[in-house]
Amino acid sequence: MPTIDVNYAELQHMLNLKLDNNLEKLDDILAYIKAEVKGFDPKENSLSIEMKDTARADLWSVEGLTRALQSYTGQQKGPKPYTTTDKSDIEVTVDASLFDIRPYIACAVIKNIHLSDEVIKGIMHLQDKLDHTYGRSRRRTSIGIYNLDLIKSPIKYTAVKPETVEFVPLGFAQKMKLDEILEKHPKGQEYGHIVKAHSLYPMLYDSQGQVLSFPPIINSNDLGKITEDSCNLLIEVTGTLHKTVLNTLTLITSALIDRGGKAYSVTIHYPKDTNNNYTQKSPVTPDFSSKPLELSVAETNRLLGLNLSAETIINLLGTAGLGVEKVSDQYITVLVPCYRVDVMHQVDIIEDVAIAYGYNNIEPLWRELPTTGKAKADQRYIDIARDLMIGLGYQEVLNTTLTNTQTLFQKMNQPPSRLIELSNPKVITMTCLRNQLLPGLIEFLSSNQSVEFPQKIFELGRVTLPNEAEQTQTCDKNYLSAVTTHPNANFSEIKSTLDSFMTNFGVEWQIQETTHPSFIEGRVGKIIVANQEVGIIGEINPETLEAWKLENPVAGFELHFQTLIDAKQNNPHK
């Protein structure tokens, strides 16, 4: 979830609200836009606000936040209008070679803006949030801001061979080749993977051949450096989705307009290609127009369980910061402001109506429906088995299903078997899913060497096994494992426990001599039910005990309990 930092004094000033230090009151207001205060630093007077709605990129700046809240606090009803003052003299031409790399660009010009240190910080913060979350870490879109006064139109957006270009990247003093930037510049290291898959890299030049930037990696240190002295800016967004590129430009430009800047449009010239790859040939950006959306009154009432008139709905739409174009009996044409980039469907609008109406003003309803509750089919047998093991004096334990091969194999003195491993483990103790329960129980014992003996524990839980016949290439099975440890723990004791369990569960079983490296030779057997091997039972090998630093003998079993359940379900009378 995006978290934005805002200056508390500034927020109160912009909202024209005196909140003092009543953060709860602020939380109540923020609830309208699904946000809440996560932290407050009184020294910096800085608020950290978490946005639950990851789609509402319009809220990720203090300007956007206040714009949204002002309508709920009654300061401004309906959408806030944005316009461009005029066309700028900047034009951009796009090279066809970019189509498979990063095909779209949108630009705007901002003039006469006063950039204080605070404003620059705020804009950088918004740029960062948009790049990271809405721009999917610059894969989908990335923003560049330049000193307009240094740029000569037309601008060329093109793709180049990496070794042919060099320039001074932002924050550096020397010219660097593009590959060198990917290798050495911190931004190159962070985002280089986005362009590396291609043989050509995107570049922005002005008509003089000066480098603006190497999108989406880094600006030029000469043209792409913004200071408090810059008052005319060029804003550029490149990306892979046209709509998202336009939306991103709208979001960043509107924030600059809110800061006192005047916006001028830029014409983009896409290549004339035979494939009709580009639907719009010469769009003018930014596009601040509202998008009309048909809202059905009936559908609104049906979804909310209310009986609102069209008038009431229109009023609520205004509270939610939305506009209305026209109204008929059944439909309202809602004007969705340009910055509401999250709206995809009328349900998004209906929710805004409900929020404006107030969730706590709606009577909750628990509908009596003729449905029958039922636990999963296995649950009955799982519960019986757990009760039996508890009756036999075993404490139930709960281990994670994520574990590691050291625990499952090496420390159990057994060779690795195939299992489900993670490609991106976070810690070395959790690299795969367990395919057996016993190692987890032995690990459990090793953490309890100073606890009173005898220790008897069991777990009935799921293991994951590879299975190519299944859609997910795996199947989960319920296993049951138990161990006993104390100075006199031995095979007879655990066999007696298993036998009691089997008798009470109603399963006839046999034991068959076998060898298993985790167990002592001659003290280990296969558990056989209906001529099928369903587990293993024995005394743990001292080598394994030593590996786990266990000082008492351990006897235990692992039972493929699912097989027993399945047999019961196929023949419940047995």
Partner 1 sequence: MVELRAQEQHLLSVLSKQECSVSVEQLVQFCGFPDAAVMRNALSLQEKNFLTIQAATQNIIKLTAEGKSYAQTSLPERKLVVAVAELGGKADLSQAAKKAGLEASFIQIAQGWVIRKKWALYDSKTNTLTLNDALLHQMVVPEGCDETLLKYLGEKDQAVFDDLNGDLKEATEQLKKRKLAVVEPKTTRILKITPEGIQAVSEATLAVPEVTKLTPELIITGKWREAKLQKYNIEAPVAKTWGGKKHPYLSFLDEVRAKLVQLGFQEMTGTAVEASFFNFDALYVPQDHPARDPSDIYYIKDPKYANLDNQTQTVEQIAQTHENGNQTGSTGWGYKYNLEAARRLILRGHGTCLSARTLQSGRYQVPSRHFSIARVYRPEITDRTHLSEFNQVEGIIIDENLTLKDLLGVLGKFALEIAGADKIRFKPDYFPFTEPSVELSAYKEGYGWIEFGGSGIFRPEVTLPLNVKAPVIAWGLGVDRLYMMRNEISDIRMIFNQDLDWLRKKQVN
> Phi-psi bin for 250: left (phi > 0), alpha (psi -120 to 50), beta?
alpha
CB of 363 to partner 1, least distance (A): 6
Strands 104-111 and 233-239: antiparallel
CB of 234 to partner 1, least distance (A): 26
> What one-character-per-residue DSSP string does 201-237 give?
EEEEE-TT--EEEETTTEEBTTTS---TT--SEEEEE
- Kindly tell me which of 238 and 240 has the beta carbon lying closer to partner 1: 240
- Kindly tell me which of 140 and 495 has the beta carbon lying closer to partner 1: 140
- Kindly tell me which of 306 and 511 has the beta carbon lying closer to partner 1: 306
CB of 162 to partner 1, least distance (A): 25
- Kindly tell me which of 36 and 166 has the beta carbon lying closer to partner 1: 36
CB of 392 to partner 1, least distance (A): 7
Q: Taking the CB of residue 266, how many other CB atoms lie within 10 A of it?
A: 28
- Let me know: does 149 contact 137? Beta carbons within 8 Å: no
> What one-character-per-residue DSSP string does 265-331 give?
EEEEE----TT---S-SS-EE-----EEEEEEHHHHHHHHT----HHHHHHHHHHTT-EEEEE-SSE
Gap between the Cα atoms of 119 and 485, Å rounded: 67
CB of 557 to partner 1, least distance (A): 15
Does residue 457 sit in helix, strand or coil? strand
- Kindly tell me which of 146 and 270 has the beta carbon lying closer to partner 1: 270
- Kindly tell me which of 61 and 141 has the beta carbon lying closer to partner 1: 141
- Kindly tell me which of 54 and 417 has the beta carbon lying closer to partner 1: 54
Nearest to 281 by CA among 299, 263, 291, 269: 269
- Kindly tell me which of 155 and 245 has the beta carbon lying closer to partner 1: 245
- Kindly tell me which of 145 and 385 has the beta carbon lying closer to partner 1: 385
Find residue 559's DSSP bridge partners: 480, 535
Find residue 558's DSSP bridge partners: 481, 536
Residue 521 CA from chain centroid, whole number: 50
Nearest to 57 by CA among 243, 226, 213: 243
Gap between the Cα atoms of 270 and 94, Å rounded: 5
CB contact set of 13 (below 8 Å; sequence gap of 6+): none
CB of 119 to partner 1, least distance (A): 28
CB of 67 to partner 1, least distance (A): 17
CB of 70 to partner 1, least distance (A): 17
Tokens 């929710």, residue?
351
CB burial of residue 555 (10 Å; 0-12, 13-18, 19+) = buried
CB of 55 to partner 1, least distance (A): 7
- Kindly tell me which of 50 and 179 has the beta carbon lying closer to partner 1: 50
Instruction: Report residue 451: phi and psi, to 5°.
Output: -95, 150
- Kindly tell me which of 51 and 113 has the beta carbon lying closer to partner 1: 51
CB of 335 to partner 1, least distance (A): 16
- Kindly tell me which of 54 and 83 has the beta carbon lying closer to partner 1: 54
CB contact set of 56 (below 8 Å; sequence gap of 6+): 33, 34, 68, 340, 341, 342
CB contact set of 134 (below 8 Å; sequence gap of 6+): 57, 60, 140, 141, 244, 247, 248, 251, 341
Tokens 């079993």, residue?
557
CB burial of residue 111 (10 Å; 0-12, 13-18, 19+) = middle
Strands 262-269 and 86-94: parallel
CB of 431 to partner 1, least distance (A): 9
CB of 176 to partner 1, least distance (A): 29
Gap between the Cα atoms of 191 and 148, Å rounded: 25
